[in-house]
Structure 1
Amino acid sequence: MPSRLGSVLLLAAALLLGACSSKPVLEIRQTDVPQSLSQQQVEQAILTALQQRRWSVVERRPGHITASIVQRQILRAVIDIRYDERSYSISHRSSEGLEYRDGKIHRTYNNWVTYLDRNIQQVLHSRAPNEPLP
């Protein structure tokens, strides 16, 4: 009987910990880019950051990139990035294995988006306005 109680307690603890890992979905909205950059330079900065963070471009057209990331073949996220010469936004499109429900998602997704956003900012600010981006 004691082993049964232990199993029940472990299951309850795991469920509580799992519930704590869900956070509101991080949406990056209208993040400003440095002045004097063209839409093409902003696009190139986003593509560079996606590559640095190991995201794959699914679809690309002017002002919009859809990208995905897969981790351990069980976690997958797809995002939409909309941009112009003034700003960019990152939004959740779909996910698998990340417990997305009612506007909440596993914190791993938010970490991926946070790191991607930081990389985009680093690339955007790494060059003088008139220099081409990598």
Structure 2
Amino acid sequence: MKKAALALLTLLTLSACSTSVPIRNFDANPVPQMASGQHDLESIKTNILKACMKLGWTCRSNAEGQILGKLDIRKHQLRVDITFNEQEYSIDYKDSINLDYNGKKIHRQYINWVTNLMRNIDAELAYK
């Protein structure tokens, strides 16, 4: 009985220390409106690229309304697809290195990195 209780306690402790979370995409984030009107695609692209650069992401425009973002931190690498139009933008997982992605879960820091990028994109878009 004591061994079973100890095994259960160990299992609960290890699961509480999990370093992975369910993978998710960040779709349909509204583009903040400016007082002077709507953004055009070029200004949205420019502001997304500025937000990336400020946070140390390497981003490049692939096509109209698409940006590939890459973040390198120590031994980790994250790549995301950023798609946008005049009304909204989305950030979707593309691939990664050393983030323990298994098709369903990924390192918990993924959520923080992408959320931080979204906050900075929103700030850049709202400012202009």
Q: Same fold per TM (> 0.5)?
A: yes
Name the amino acid aligned to 1:33. Answer: V
Q: CA RMSD in A?
A: 2.2
What SS does structure 1 have at the residue aligned with 2:101?
coil
What is the TM-score when the length of structure 2 is the normalising length?
0.80
Name the amino acid aligned to 2:113. Answer: W
What SS does structure 1 have at the residue aligned with 2:83?
strand
What is the TM-score when the length of structure 1 is the normalising length?
0.77
Unaligned runs of 5+ in 1: 1-11, 128-134
How far apart are residue 17 of structure 1 and its match? Answer: 6.3
Which residue matches 1:7? none
2:22 is the alignment partner of 1:24 = yes
2:118 is the alignment partner of 1:117 = yes
Looking at structure 1, the residues matched to 119 and 94 of structure 2 have their Cα atoms a distance apart, in angstroms, of 20
- Answer yes or no: is the 8 Å Cα contact 1:78–1:93 preserved in 2: yes
- Answer yes or no: is the 8 Å Cα contact 2:32–2:122 preserved in 1: no
How far apart are residue 38 of structure 1 and its match? Answer: 0.6
- Answer yes or no: is the 8 Å Cα contact 2:49–2:60 preserved in 1: no
Which residue matches 2:31? 33
Which residue matches 2:6? none
Looking at structure 2, the residues matched to 106 and 45 of structure 1 have their Cα atoms a distance apart, in angstroms, of 28
Matched residue count = 115
Deviation above 3 Å: which 4+ runs of structure 1? none
- Answer yes or no: is the 8 Å Cα contact 1:26–1:113 preserved in 2: no
Match of 2:46 among 44, 47, 65: 44
How far apart are residue 67 of structure 1 and its match? Answer: 1.3
